[in-house]
Structure formats: C-alpha cells, structure tokens
Amino acid sequence: MSQVFVSQHPLVLHKLTALRDINTDHRAFRELVRELALLLCYEATQDLPLQSKTVTTPMGQAQGYKAEERIGLVPILRAGLGLV
C-alpha cells in the first residue's frame, strides 16, 4: 500500500504557489525548485534514525548525532532531476 504525504508547511505552500505562477521567470523557477527540494528533504527525513556521537570541538568534547542510515535519491522522470 502506497502512502502520499502532502506537506502543509507554510513555506512549501508559498514556494509552490510561486512556482506555479505563469509570471515566474526561468531563473526564479529553478531557484524555487531548489528551495522546494530542500524543504521537502527536511520533511521527508524528520523521522530518520540517529545514533549518538561524541565530537571534539574547539571548546572540548560535545555530544552530537549521526544518521544511522544512508540516503539515496533517484529521479523517476527527467523533470525530477531538478529536485535531486
């Protein structure tokens, strides 16, 4: 069973509206696609499993996190290349 997630984030909705606007020029369109890809990636990875990791900073040891899984992106159609 396939599930579809529709983002209701205000920035996603704002940028999607600008992307659809006939008055959006070519340069702005590309920038909007890039920005939307970043926002959608943020939404898609919100439940990504993490593992604890200690790192050395200029101020000493600090506790941080590392993603447990690697992520691969594969565009399905040529139009999806801009999102990847």
Residue spans per domain, the chain: 10-82
Q: Given pLDDT bands bounded at 50, 70 and 90, which one contains residue 79?
A: low
pLDDT value at residue 77 = 72
CA-to-CA dists, residue 40 to 34, 35, 59, 75, angstroms: 10, 9, 34, 14
pLDDT greater at residue 14 or residue 72: 14
Per-residue pLDDT tens digits for 19-71: 999 999 999 999 999 999 899 888 888 899 999 999 999 999 999 999 999 88
Per-residue pLDDT tens digits for 9-25: 999 999 999 999 999 99
Q: How many CB atoms lie within 10 A of CB 43?
A: 13
Query: CATH number of the domain at 10-82, please?
Result: 3.40.50.2020
